[in-house]
Amino acid sequence: MEVSAEQEIQQIDVGAPHVVILGAGASYAAFPQGDRNERKLPLMNNFIETLGIEQLVEKSGLAFSSNNFEDIYSSIHSVTELSELRKELEDVVYDYFSEMELPDHPTVYDHLVLSLRNKDFVATFNWDPFLVQAIRRNGEKFKLPRPLFLHGNVAVGFCPNGHMMGNSGGYCTSCGERFENTPLLYPVAEKGYPDSEFISRQWATLEALLNKAFMVTVFGYGAPVSDTAAIELLKNAWGTPGSRSMEEFEIIDIRKEAELVDTWSPFIHSHHYRVENSFYDSWIANHPRRTGEAYLNQFNYAKFIENNPLPKDAGFNELWDWYGELQQVEDSQST
């Protein structure tokens, strides 16, 4: 009635995707002191001060009831005469995030992408380039999860003719057109996802995935009530809690469990959830590349399972050797 870590490693049974949804809290938790160059990660309530755009905001001449940047941007967006100021704000935001870099050592982002398989997906609300950079520097050695960019991303561009997406500044291999930058900012109360072909495609893919996911992990995304379009799309894709009686919903966040459960109650069936304060206590970190198999062993087969925690303090060479043993099993069973 027990499954050891070694037995779990040898199991490749689950084809359904594990879907991870990232919010700003994930990047902030990963780099509380800033990125490689100590460039700070802003949250919406300290966004203006962190980017140093107080004077730009004051130029609007508007009175704001909130210091939340998305609310402020929405107010500016609603005034046609402020279109030039709005464009200036958008450019400053894009440039700030474009200059961010991962440190040279392994980070939470490296551990995240290495701990999921190619059948899995990471859908991010974040503008920063960390997910893309982690996939780039680990992707030559491993088959990694596929990313989705729900609010655009500074590291990603898309073909204006709708053929593909790729690295920002690159060119489409189908038509040769230079990739366009993905849009980042929208009025929060009425985010126009359908107005952007790129963004609407990302959401359509996520909706299809949520319908067949066996587990969803939400990492650092607060599901703000102002983000009405996003929350409604997520609810419709996931379905009612009663229809997801066998799936697991995991939340990684530093807020109190009661608050988090209340926020995500439309997605949780009964006791089929867990809340962790740290990524390293999650299913992903303790059952890397085998979250589905661990889930089946514990919940479907009622077996005791042994954790197989990733070596979070290892350098890249040691880390890649450790994950290489997991992928070797995957490769041997796919042939």
Give the model confidence (pLDDT) of 10-40 as tens digits. Answer: 999 999 999 999 998 999 889 988 999 999 9
**254 shares its domain with 310:** yes
Shared-domain flag, residues 245 and 199:
yes
Average pLDDT, whole number, for the chain?
90
**198 domain-assigned:** yes
**Percent of the chain's residues with pLDDT above 70:** 93
Q: Please tell me whether residues 59 and 141 are part of one structural domain.
A: no
Q: Tell how strand 165-167 and strand 156-158 pair up.
A: antiparallel
Domain annotation covers residue 9:
yes
289-313, pLDDT tens digit by residue?
999 999 999 988 999 999 999 999 9
pLDDT at 148: 96
| 29 and 56 share one domain | no
192 pLDDT above the threshold of 60: no
Q: Assess whether 294 and 242 both reside in one domain.
A: yes
Do 56 and 145 lie in one domain? The reply is no
- Domain assignment present for residue 236? The answer is yes
171 occurs within a structural domain: no
Q: Are 159 and 172 in contact (CB under 8 A)?
A: yes
* Residue 162 main-chain phi, psi, to 5 deg: 80, 15
Question: Residue 227: which domain range?
Answer: 2-35+105-151+186-334
Q: Give yes or no for residue 280 having a pLDDT over 90.
A: yes
Instruction: Please tell me what DSSP assigns to residue 74.
Output: H
Same domain, 200 and 297: yes
So what's the pLDDT on residue 335? Answer: 60
- Which of helix, strand or coil describes residue 172? coil
Mean pLDDT of 236-262: 81
Query: Residue 132, CB half-sphere, CA atoms under 13 Å: how many?
Result: 21
Give the up-direction half-sphere exposure of residue 80: CA atoms within 13 A in the CB hemisphere.
0
What pLDDT shows up at residue 225? 64
> What's the confidence (pLDDT) of residue 242?
72
- Assess if residue 291 is contained within a domain: yes
Q: Are 146 and 51 within one domain?
A: no
| Lowest mean pLDDT across 93-97, 152-156, 306-310, 331-335 | 331-335
Q: What's the CA gap between 79 and 299, in Å, rounded?
A: 53
Work out the pLDDT band at 270, boundaries 50, 70, 90: low
Domains identified in the chain, total number: 2
Angle between helices 69-77 and 83-98 (to 10 degrees): 150
In a shared domain, residues 57 and 84: yes
Confidence of residue 185 (pLDDT cuts 50, 70, 90): confident
Q: Is residue 199 part of a domain?
A: yes
Q: What is the mean pLDDT of residues 214-230?
A: 80
User: Is there a single domain that holds both residue 115 and residue 230?
Assistant: yes
Asked if the structure places residue 164 within a domain, the reply is: no
User: According to the model, what pLDDT value does residue 297 have?
Assistant: 94
The predicted structure's pLDDT at residue 61: 94
- Asked whether residue 280 is assigned to any structural domain, the reply reads yes
Of 123-127, 161-165, 169-173, the poorest mean pLDDT is in 161-165
For residue 257, the one-letter residue type is: E
The H-or-E segment that residue 26 falls in is helix 24-30
94 and 199 in a single domain? The answer is: no
Q: What is the pLDDT of residue 273?
A: 84
Give helix then strand counts, H and E, for the chain: 14, 11
Give the CA distances from residue 204 to residues 65, 196, 326, in Å, rounded to whole numbers and listed in that order.
34, 12, 31
Q: Are residues 140 and 55 in the same domain?
A: no
Model confidence at 316, pLDDT cuts 50, 70, 90, reads very high
Query: What's the CA gap between 115 and 72, in Å, rounded?
Result: 37
Asked which of 88-97, 173-182, 226-235, 244-253 is least confident by mean pLDDT, the reply is 226-235
**What is the C-alpha to C-alpha distance for residues 125 and 16, in angstroms, rounded to an integer?**
22
